Structure 1
Amino acid sequence: MSLYRSVRAVADASGTGPIDWEAVAEAAKASTDPGSIDMSPSEREGYATDVRDARARVRDVSGAKFDVPDTIEVQNRHHWIDANIDTFRRVMEPVEEHGPEIMPGVARTINTGTMSVMLSVLGKNVLGQYDPLLLAEGDEHALYFVRPNIERIADELDVNYDRFRRWIAFHEVTHAAEFGAAPWLSDHLETRMESGIDALAQGRLDREAFRELDAAMTAVEGYAELLMDGAFDDEYADLREKMEARRQGGDPLSRLVRRMLGLGLKRRQYERGKAFFEAVAARRGIEGATVVWDRPENLPTDDEIDDPERWLARVSP
């Protein structure tokens, strides 16, 4: 890890666009200890077993037909940064194409530095990730586990590593279940994301696109929480409480990056979505809640998330 090399990469940012993505990757990795992925055969098998068990349990609980991605990787932090740099680049592409060119050299350095800090902070904290590869060519999905972070945070929280790793695996597989049960979901999220970002790049705010995107992501996070409650083969209230306490803490830079990335919004999506699906499941069971993935029109609106009875009345036969 070299902070000097990270700063040097940002200072030397070049190219014609507002962000030098090669410099972003170099700077983010230079300021991030990659961590180790040296594992015993039993630990490596543990990851595979957790994913297989999660797939079986989530299928049983949800009744949904899905498979886990072909790509399942146990990564270090640098691997995760490399895997996500293209996602950040795709999301920012409309802004780069339409954004104003004011003092381009200075702006490029600032933008490159900002993105590298974001990726570095995330790379040090992401535990697992189900990645539908939004805005990418093709139809690939991937599942990542960042072993150094799982190991470090299990130690910080004083929880059993194997149990913590299994909890992360179950959570990510619930997301695989959602996208597997709803092949249209990736396109739905992409179109709303593209519309919102295009508008921002042109100096407008497409409130409806962001409202629909937020409602869809609230459904994604809430349904995942519902499945976790039924699928995970252990109590995990202690894990959730410790993780939430950790999110509220952290150093000032980490808290700033979380705000910039809207991770507080993600917590709100968890809470609203979980309350919505708990109310639906209390009336119709988990299979009744799973009809949300039958077609795009079955997604709850923003208003319906806070009024599950309205959603049930609309989608019930």
Structure 2
Amino acid sequence: MSLFEGVRAVASASGDSLVDWNAVRDAAKAGTPPGDLTLTAAEREAYAGDVRDARERIREVSTLDFDVPETVSVMNRHHWIDANAGTFERAFRPVNDASASLPGVSRTLNTGGAAAALSFLARNVLGQYDPLLLADGDAHELYFVHPNIVEAAASLDVPLARFRRWIAFHEVTHAAEFGAAPWLADYLEDRLRAGITELEDEYRLDTDEFEEVLLAMTAVEGYAELLMDRAFDREYGDLRRKLDARRRGGGPLTKLFRHLLGLGLKRKQYEQGREFFDAVVDARGIETASLVWNAPENLPRRDELDTPGRWLARVA
């Protein structure tokens, strides 16, 4: 789950008042069982060990220079709600602060809609690399939602240790990207702030700003898929097929939430970004693909995602 998806979920809700984030936390937790977080010392060390292994292996195959958070947070669903509600609250602070002058925003930002979105996501998120956008300081976090990982591994009929390791590798690929591109967090923050400021000024989200966020996140997800294929030390085609089937499953309400939260779009980001980087690597190697993190100008443009040769001609 990305910040962009969460912002869009909040902004697309309807209601009669601005978001009360304390109420969001309370309501989301009330509608979400926290899940069991009983872990032995060996199980906690297994999470940390998978992250260390992922860091070393991804450094080796990507040649990127990066680090991972010193602390790996193994959490339940309520912990995840607290962490992400704080991020969304920071993102929408300008709107909340300007509430007296924004009569139209009450129809856009709704506490109940935000709580429902966080509750749904908290039951489905497995892991998350969080660069803590819009926070003070240069911090980042790595989260694993243990109850969801346990339940997903059981429902997919795969060994828990293997599934947990796969999730760890995927999230560490994101740490690699943000570590290799120290400008990336600021780039996303600036566009999120600009888009939300447009909401304050014009009572609407700036689609141009969010289009740039979407393009950046397509590159982030696609490059992560590229690294996963080269870095993960076990076959995982079956895991991906089973997890994709799980994402497509569920009842009508689950499918509606996925549609409203743009989770199908996230799958498209994976696929489109992956196809782009596959073409770049086939043509010029992974070192050329890694040029995408040298500067914001190197991010692929909309037309270049479908025609990677244009990106190669411009950047490489």
TM normalised by structure 2 equals 0.89
AA aligned opposite 1:173: V
Give the CA deviation at 1:66.
0.3
Deviation string for 1:293-314 (max 9, x for gaps)?
Answer: 1111111111111111011111
1:11 corresponds to which residue?
Answer: none
Distance in 2 (alpha carbons) for counterparts of 1:263 and 1:157: 19
After superposition, where does 1:139-150 map in structure 2 within 5 Å? Answer: 139-150=138-149
AA aligned opposite 1:116: A
Deviation string for 1:225-246 (max 9, x for gaps)?
Answer: 0000000011111111111111
Give the CA deviation at 1:249.
1.3
Q: For structure 1, which segment, 189-198 or 218-227, has the greater mean C-alpha deviation from structure 2 after superposition?
A: 189-198
What secondary structure, in the 3-state scheme, does the structure 2 residue paired with 1:178 have? helix
1:120 corresponds to which residue?
Answer: 119
Distance in 2 (alpha carbons) for counterparts of 1:72 and 1:165: 13
Deviation string for 1:212-235 (max 9, x for gaps)?
Answer: 211111100000000000000111
AA aligned opposite 1:255: K
What secondary structure, in the 3-state scheme, does the structure 2 residue paired with 1:139 have? coil
Distance in 2 (alpha carbons) for counterparts of 1:142 and 1:71: 7
Distance in 2 (alpha carbons) for counterparts of 1:22 and 1:289: 43
Deviation string for 1:51-98 (max 9, x for gaps)?
Answer: 000000000010000000123100011111111111121223344336
* Structure 1 residue 39 corresponds to structure 2 residue 39: yes
Distance in 2 (alpha carbons) for counterparts of 1:290 and 1:179: 12
Distance in 2 (alpha carbons) for counterparts of 1:58 and 1:288: 16
Distance in 2 (alpha carbons) for counterparts of 1:256 and 1:28: 18
When the two chains are superposed, the root-mean-square deviation of aligned CA atoms in Å is: 2.0
AA aligned opposite 2:157: D
Distance in 2 (alpha carbons) for counterparts of 1:248 and 1:232: 24
Change (3 A) 1:103 1:187: closer
Distance in 1 (alpha carbons) for counterparts of 2:128 and 2:61: 21
2:24 corresponds to which residue?
Answer: 24
Taking CA–CA contacts closer than 8 Å with sequence separation of 6 or more, which of the two structures ends up with the larger relative contact order? 2
Change (3 A) 1:268 1:200: farther
Deviation string for 1:138-177 (max 9, x for gaps)?
Answer: 1110000000000001101111110000000000000000
1:151 corresponds to which residue?
Answer: 150
1:197 corresponds to which residue?
Answer: 196
Change (3 A) 1:209 1:103: closer
Q: For structure 1, which segment, 18-27 or 206-215, has the greater mean C-alpha deviation from structure 2 after superposition?
A: 206-215
Give the CA deviation at 1:254.
2.6
Deviation string for 1:95-137 (max 9, x for gaps)?
Answer: 4336843696xx69x8111111111111111100000111111
User: Is the contact made by 1:71 and 1:141 (CA closer than 8 Å) also made in structure 2?
Assistant: no
Distance in 2 (alpha carbons) for counterparts of 1:262 and 1:137: 28
1:83 corresponds to which residue?
Answer: 83
Change (3 A) 1:32 1:205: closer
2:187 corresponds to which residue?
Answer: 188
User: Is the contact made by 2:105 and 2:203 (CA closer than 8 Å) also made in structure 1?
Assistant: no
Superposition misfits of 4+ residues, deviation over 4 angstroms: none
Distance in 2 (alpha carbons) for counterparts of 1:100 and 1:243: 42
1:4 corresponds to which residue?
Answer: none
Distance in 2 (alpha carbons) for counterparts of 1:34 and 1:136: 25
Distance in 2 (alpha carbons) for counterparts of 1:259 and 1:93: 26
Give the CA deviation at 1:248.
0.9
Give the CA deviation at 1:205.
5.3
AA aligned opposite 2:112: G
Give the CA deviation at 1:27.
1.2
Change (3 A) 1:156 1:279: same
* Structure 1 residue 101 corresponds to structure 2 residue 103: yes
Deviation string for 1:243-294 (max 9, x for gaps)?
Answer: 1111111233332222222222111111110000000011121111111111
User: Is the contact made by 2:169 and 2:228 (CA closer than 8 Å) also made in structure 1?
Assistant: yes
Deviation string for 1:24-55 (max 9, x for gaps)?
Answer: 11111112111111112222111011000000
TM normalised by structure 1 equals 0.89
Change (3 A) 1:153 1:103: closer
User: Is the contact made by 1:193 and 1:210 (CA closer than 8 Å) also made in structure 2?
Assistant: yes
Identity of aligned residues (%): 61
Distance in 2 (alpha carbons) for counterparts of 1:103 and 1:170: 40
AA aligned opposite 1:140: A
After superposition, where does 1:10-21 map in structure 2 within 5 Å? Answer: 18-21=18-21
After superposition, where does 1:1-317 map in structure 2 within 5 Å? Answer: 18-96=18-96, 97=98, 100-101=102-103, 111-201=110-200, 202-204=202-204, 206-316=206-316
User: Is the contact made by 1:34 and 1:78 (CA closer than 8 Å) also made in structure 2?
Assistant: yes
5+ long unaligned stretches in structure 2: 1-15
